[in-house]
Amino acid sequence: MLEWAWVVPICPLVSFVVLVLWGTRLRGSGAAYVSIAGIALAWLLGWGVAAQMLLPPGHEPVAHSYLWAQMGSRTLELGFMVDNLAAAMLFMVPFVSMLIQIYSIGYMHGDPRFSRYFAFMSLFCFAMLLLVISNNLLQMFISWELVGVCSYFLISFWYERKSAALAGKKAFITTRVGDVGMLIGIMVCFVHGGTLDFEKLFDTAASQPGETWIGLAALLLFFGAIGKSAQFPLHTWLPDAMEGPTPVSALIHAATMVAAGVYLVARTFPLFWISRDAVVWDWHMLGIQFTALEFVAIIGTITLLIAGLMAVVQSDIKRVLAYSTISQLGYMMLALGMGAAGVAAGMFHLLTHAFFKAGLFLGAGSVIHATETNDMWQMGGLRKAMPNTFATFVIVFLGLVGIFPFAGFWSKDEIVVTVLGEGRMALFILAELGAFLTAFYMTRLMCLTFWGKPREAAAHAHESPRVMTWPLWILAVGSIVVGLMGTPWWNKAHHVLSFDVMPYVATGGASLAVGAGHAAAEQTPNYGLMVVSLAVALGGILAARRIYNREGLETDPLQRRFGLLYRIVENKFYFDWLYDVVIVKGILTNTKTGLMHLARRMDDWIVDRIVDGAGYVTVGCSVVGRILDDYVVDKIVDGVGVVCRAGGALVNIWQSGRVQGYLVGGLAAAAAALIAVTFAM
């Protein structure tokens, strides 16, 4: 089964090709069935691979490569590998994707570009699965870009809306900025490490632990993750990406694509680990220095806080969830930044987050579908009108917030434990603050949406069809199940996902990074911490409940209370404004010096001149041709005519009709002939 792992991405690829060629000819939901067939196959195969890898007795990691290009002593390859990390992703990604696609049958019903949607969905699944099983940086980068492109397509799916088109552009370009760093990082690896294959690269790095390139490469690769996982400061695209259909937001911007950044860090973790003592960034003036690993943790923390704050002030239900996603990704980065112990925690949270965030988004989609609005201030009282949605929403809500025994409690707890374990008190407090905010804004969302008296849009709401509610239930249950994989008493997740440091303490060793193996230390349950986390979460819930669980709430009471602060947060800390003024207006579109203006000028002065020049040359050639024609060709033709006329005129003398002329001619000829004959004799 493991040898066939490469088939997993092929299945949705085939669906994609089929849908591109014949999609529009399929009636009704036919396109969806094609796509789901593909992803279902991938799911079954994926679970098979995951089972073989993760269930006892487990399996050694498998990797295969095929030579693509050879440049001197270096090679570029394509290949796949399956280790515990990849297997875990293969367990989650196709399953969640399939559920979301089933949900989409109901959500996208009647859309004129139905088949196109599913074509893109299939293409995305292909790219994401390819990313998961990539065994070298090049292939990962290719699939990285491909998922970015699919994200662009799907965000601006309803491109008639200008805001959607702009959001797609913003997402793609912002992530591109990060990708530049990533590409440079890849080049560093190629130049200094001599290879892009993970296994060989890590071996090379391990054999030269003091080199600076390792940390540099790690940092640069992390830039790519910043872009893709919407970390500070490239987080601005994700809220705007909510313009896309809700299932898209669920799949790409919650469960999978944004998780790719976390996966990248986990995958290339050896580079971070080896360079953990090497200072990579040095601001002497401010006295700040950090390693690549440090950088990851700090960025993660900043992100989780500002995102959490911004989530509090949103009125669009999807935006709350978007900021929540950014915040949770920050948590994952924070975990990874804690070192070898944090990898398992971060990855575990990624898996649980996929389930409950997808569930939250799909639930929100259900609500949006029923009320035809995204604005929470127009909803209310939906727990009675949409019981299924409400029930599942509650489950995943508790999962996100981290209430025992739901998913988030276990995974967030793992992270916090790890932070504390590394002795980072400041970060611990900030993380708990983030947890408080999470509980607060999620409860706010619940109150406004499901409790209270129904406001305008909610009045006529009714439950969504089964094709939409069943995936909700499966996801909700799934989140509980997955969560239970990581309890301290039975930490299967930890076993599976932890980072094996052994090969990197000694030099040499050829085993893949994350795999079978035990973590540095077994965790003993920290009960005190569990209580603290629970208290923080409950505190958030109660606080929000008090503020928002009132009848007839039309505007946010916090707005009155915190005025200026509220406004700053509402304006997203003026980040978008900053980027807009400095980059967009300043560099790109500036009429005097902007790049676009420059391009326009180049076009006018250079390209247009060339084109005009070509035109002039053509005209010139035709003028020369005309002159030739007039003075040479015409003269020749005329000359022929003149010659003919002259000949005719010559002959005309003898064609006078006068007999004497004829006689003279005939006799002259006769005389001449006779004389000639006479002389010849």
Partner 1 sequence: MSGIGLHHFLGLAALLFCIGLYAVLSRRNAIGILMGIELMLNASNINLVAFARFVRPEEPQGQIFALFVMGLAAAEAAVGLAIVLAVYRTVKSINVDEISVLKW
Partner 2 sequence: MTQASPILQHIVFWPLAVWIIVTAVGVVRLRSIVRSAACLMTCFVGIGGMYLMLHAEFVFAFQILVYVGGIMVLILFAVLLLQRAAGEELRHHNEHGGLALLVSLGFLFLFGKLVVFADTWQAVGGALPGRGTLVWTGHQFLGRYIIPFEVISVVLLVAMVGAIIIARTRGPER
At CA 93, angle to CA 489 and CA 511, rounded to 5?
A: 65
Amino acid making up residue 555: T
Smaller CB separation from partner 2, 611 or 672: 672
| Residue 56 found at the interface with partner 1 (CB under 8 A) | no
| Residue 57 found at the interface with partner 1 (CB under 8 A) | no
Stretch near partner 1 under the rule CB under 8 A, chosen from 216-224, 225-233, 378-386, 651-659: 651-659
Smaller CB separation from partner 1, 531 or 664: 664
Smaller CB separation from partner 2, 69 or 672: 672
| Residue 651 found at the interface with partner 1 (CB under 8 A) | no
- How many whole angstroms separate alpha carbon 193 and alpha carbon 73? 12
Please pick, from the candidates 405, 655, 672, 675, the single residue that binds partner 1 as defined by CB under 8 A: 655
Residues in contact with partner 2 by the rule CB under 8 A:
658, 660-661, 664, 667-668, 671-672, 674-675, 678
Smallest CA-to-CA distance from 533 within 406, 422, 447 is with 406
Phi, psi of 183 (to 5 degrees): -65, -40
Determine the number of helices (DSSP H) and then strands (DSSP E) in the chain.
29, 6
The 3-class SS string of 157-218 reads CCCCCHHHHHHHHHHHHHHHHHHHHHHHHHHHHHHHHCCCEHHHHHHHHHHCCCCHHHHHHH
Smaller CB separation from partner 1, 57 or 657: 657
In the complex, least distance from residue 618 CB atom to partner 2, rounded to whole angstroms: 57
| Residue 481 found at the interface with partner 1 (CB under 8 A) | no
Q: Residue 659 binds what, of partner 1, partner 2, none (CB under 5 to 8 Å, by partner type)?
A: partner 1
Smaller CB separation from partner 1, 546 or 658: 658
Scan for tokens 């292939």, then name that residue.
Answer: 139
Q: Residue 639 binds what, of partner 1, partner 2, none (CB under 5 to 8 Å, by partner type)?
A: none
| Residue 673 found at the interface with partner 1 (CB under 8 A) | no
Q: Residue 655 binds what, of partner 2, partner 1, none (CB under 5 to 8 Å, by partner type)?
A: partner 1
Smaller CB separation from partner 2, 502 or 674: 674
In the complex, least distance from residue 641 CB atom to partner 1, rounded to whole angstroms: 21
Neighbours of 243 (CB within 10 A): 24
Contact 31, 111 (CB under 8 A): no
Q: Residue 602 binds what, of partner 1, partner 2, none (CB under 5 to 8 Å, by partner type)?
A: none
Contacts 24+ apart (CB under 8 A), 208-212: 209/274, 209/507, 210/278, 212/278, 212/280
Tokens of 135: 């065994």
| Residue 670 found at the interface with partner 1 (CB under 8 A) | no
- How many whole angstroms separate alpha carbon 396 and alpha carbon 392? 6
Tokens of 197: 């294959």
In the complex, least distance from residue 648 CB atom to partner 1, rounded to whole angstroms: 13
Q: Residue 657 binds what, of partner 1, partner 2, none (CB under 5 to 8 Å, by partner type)?
A: partner 1
Q: Residue 672 binds what, of partner 2, partner 1, none (CB under 5 to 8 Å, by partner type)?
A: partner 2
Amino acid making up residue 257: M
- How many whole angstroms separate alpha carbon 217 and alpha carbon 226? 14
SS3 content of the chain, % helix, strand, coil (to 5): 75, 5, 20
In the complex, least distance from residue 648 CB atom to partner 2, rounded to whole angstroms: 18
In the complex, least distance from residue 670 CB atom to partner 2, rounded to whole angstroms: 9
In the complex, least distance from residue 644 CB atom to partner 2, rounded to whole angstroms: 23
Q: How far is CA 556 from CA 250, 305, 313, 343, 547, in A?
A: 26, 21, 8, 39, 9
Tokens of 70: 């050879």
Please pick, from the candidates 591, 593, 660, 678, the single residue that binds partner 1 as defined by CB under 8 A: 660
The 3-class SS string of 62-99 reads EEEEEEEEEECCEEEEEEEEECHHHHHHHHHHHHHHHH
In the complex, least distance from residue 627 CB atom to partner 2, rounded to whole angstroms: 44
Smaller CB separation from partner 1, 619 or 671: 671
Smaller CB separation from partner 2, 628 or 664: 664
| Residue 650 found at the interface with partner 1 (CB under 8 A) | no
Continuous H helices in 372-485: 382-385, 387-401, 407-421, 425-450, 466-483
Smaller CB separation from partner 2, 593 or 678: 678
Size of the site for partner 1 (CB under 8 A): 9
Residues of this chain that interact with partner 1 (CB under 8 A) are 655-660, 663-664, 667
